[in-house]
Amino acid sequence: MVTTSFKTTKSEEIFAAAQKLMPGGVSSPVRAFKSVGGQPIVFDRVKGAYIWDIDGNQYIDYVGTWGPAICGHAHPEVIEALHNALAKGTSFGAPSVLENVLAEMVIDAVPSIEMVRFVNSGTEACMAVSRLMRAFTGRDKMIKFEGCYHGHADMFLVKAGSGVATLGLPDSPGVPKSTTVNTLTAPFNNLEAVKALFEENPNEIAGVILEPVVGNAGFIPPDAGFLEGLRLITRENGALLVFDEVMTGFRIAYGGAQEKFGITPDLTTLGKIIGGGLPVGAYGGRRDIMSMVAPSGPMYQAGTLSGNPLAMTAGIKTLELLQKSGTYDYLDRITKKLSDGLLQIAKEKGHAVCGGQISGMFGLFFTSGPVHNYEDAKKSETAKFSRFHRGMLERGIYLAPSQFEAGFTSVAHTEEDIDRTLAAAREVMSSI
């Protein structure tokens, strides 16, 4: 099933030129394929569940712009809405009714959010929410979990996931110790470690921030009772609980992980899907906390392009599409078929693997597992994953170029796409 016409000559030429123009030839580190070997393919266009590279190769896409393409790439209704919005202008730097519409949709959907502020990226949302939790509590310290990624702001680049984990980098140079001294870390799914940090830092911890389902150290779901335990511990200690739902928001349920697991945090960060593929982020939560944000309150945060009409338009249309009956049942069904199939094939071929899925989010580790946290994930055979990734790429399947990134499906993926993916996996698993 190897695609005999698989050639990447143009991609290689373009990437070679890019390396002279941009650090590593990319605008974001994981795209460079450093952890999986070979050179990245250069995209030409996307549509539905598919990608075409500059050499004309077609792929089934399980990255989906790292999550936003839940309705499929370039959905015709989103494109039409954007065409109409473009005629009115690309940026206002002033209020528009579109912000009200999307804000109401987010507030109606996400249990924790009573007020919301739009920004331009998940990093920006997490940076602002860390400032907000400190402003509200009057405390400086916060707890994050090893392998969780909350953007590249200084205070979060401590035992971080995503590209930091993928590239095996230590805590980033250029980040002053004075910035990270107040960032405490614990293993994911370890309540005792969290309790110990609160005991060691009485009345000093502003809050706990986490990905409720980890996607930036690979796919790692919460153990039973973990989220409930965090909710109890933070309340007992007068601290805030923050869910970073940049990945999970509107993906594992319409109301995100907090709807799926029935746990309501104090604050939530969002991104990706609520921009329908355009740059966007948001943070929101309880009204009394959000009232601290300027101009209502003293905590300053601003952004010229925040709430821009194009991102708002794409987000509104995407959320409308997700409200169609059966959307999440379909996502769960096809993703379960994919995840279960990959695990079964790998085990049949003698590979030690573990993994799973929730709705349209999945992951596969080349280790017997179980994987409860980042330390467990690091036991994976990354060299084997690299061979698997390349073999799938050559057969027209595009997976995240890292063992430490979750995969994503969309409602545009068909049963035939899943069958073709599993057939490719069977071939690759036989040869790696």
pLDDT of 171 higher than 80? no
- For the question of residue 108 being annotated catalytic, the response is no
Q: What is the DSSP letter of 216?
A: B
What is the distance between the alpha carbons of residues 90 and 109, in angstroms, rounded to a whole number? Answer: 27
pLDDT given for residue 176 in this prediction: 76
Give the pLDDT confidence of 278-300 residue by residue, as tens digits: 999 999 999 999 999 999 999 99
66-114 pLDDT tens trace? 999 999 999 999 999 999 999 999 999 999 999 999 999 999 999 999 9
Burial class (CB in 10 A: 0-12, 13-18, 19+), 87: exposed
Q: Which of 59, 149, 254, 374 is catalytic?
A: 149
Rounded to an integer, the average pLDDT of 226-247 is 98
Are 40 and 32 contacting, i.e. CB atoms less than 8 angstroms apart? yes
Is 272 one of the catalytic residues? yes
Tell me the C-alpha distance between 18 and 24, whole Å: 8
Tell me what the mean pLDDT of segment 404-432 comes to.
98
Q: How many CB atoms lie within 10 A of CB 369?
A: 16
Task: Using alpha carbons, list the distances in angstroms from residue 253 to 63, 206, 249, 314, 360.
Answer: 18, 28, 7, 19, 9
For a pLDDT cut of 90, what percent of the chain falls above it?
89
User: Would you state the pLDDT for residue 327?
Assistant: 98
Question: What does the mean pLDDT of the chain come to?
Answer: 94
Q: How confident is the model at residue 170 (pLDDT cuts 50, 70, 90)?
A: very low
Whether domain 9-62+325-431 has CATH 3.90.1150.10? yes
161 has a pLDDT exceeding 60: no
Taking a C-beta distance cutoff of 8 angstroms, is the pair 418, 360 a contact? Answer: no
The single residue of 141, 144, 260, 272 carrying the catalytic annotation is 272
Q: In the prediction, which pLDDT does 5 show?
A: 73
Domain range list for the chain:
9-62+325-431, 76-322
Name the strand (E) or helix (H) holding 285.
strand 281-285
Q: CA distances (Å), 423 to each of 412, 416, 428, in order?
A: 19, 10, 9
Q: Is the pLDDT of residue 309 over 80?
A: yes
Residue 163 has pLDDT above 80, yes or no: no
- Amino acid (1-letter code) at residue 346: A
- Measure the N-to-C terminal CA separation of the chain; round to a whole number of Å: 15
Exposure string over 342-356, b if 16+ CB within 10 A, otherwise e: bbebbeeeebebbbb
pLDDT digit string, tens, across residues 190-224: 999 999 999 999 999 999 999 999 999 999 999 99
Tokens encoding 78: 């989103």
Q: Considering the candidates 244, 266, 376, 417, report the single residue annotated as catalytic.
A: 244
**Distance (Å, whole) CA 156 – CA 22:** 24
Lowest mean pLDDT among 148-157, 302-311, 343-352: 148-157
Least confident of 62-76, 154-168, 187-201, 393-407: 154-168
Rounded to 5°, angle at Cα 35 from 32 and 40: 30
Give CA–CA dist 61/41, Å, rounded.
Answer: 13
Q: At what angle do helices 97-109 and 309-322 cross, to 10 degrees?
A: 40
- 3-class state of residue 430 by DSSP: helix
Burial of 74 from C-beta contacts in 10 A (0-12 / 13-18 / 19+)? middle
Domain 76-322, second-level architecture: 3-Layer(aba) Sandwich (3.40)
pLDDT tops 50 at residue 168: no
- On the question of pLDDT at 165 being above 70, the answer is no
Is 149 one of the annotated active-site residues of the chain? yes
For the chain, give the percent of residues with pLDDT over 70: 96
Per-residue pLDDT band for 177 (boundaries 50, 70, 90) equals confident
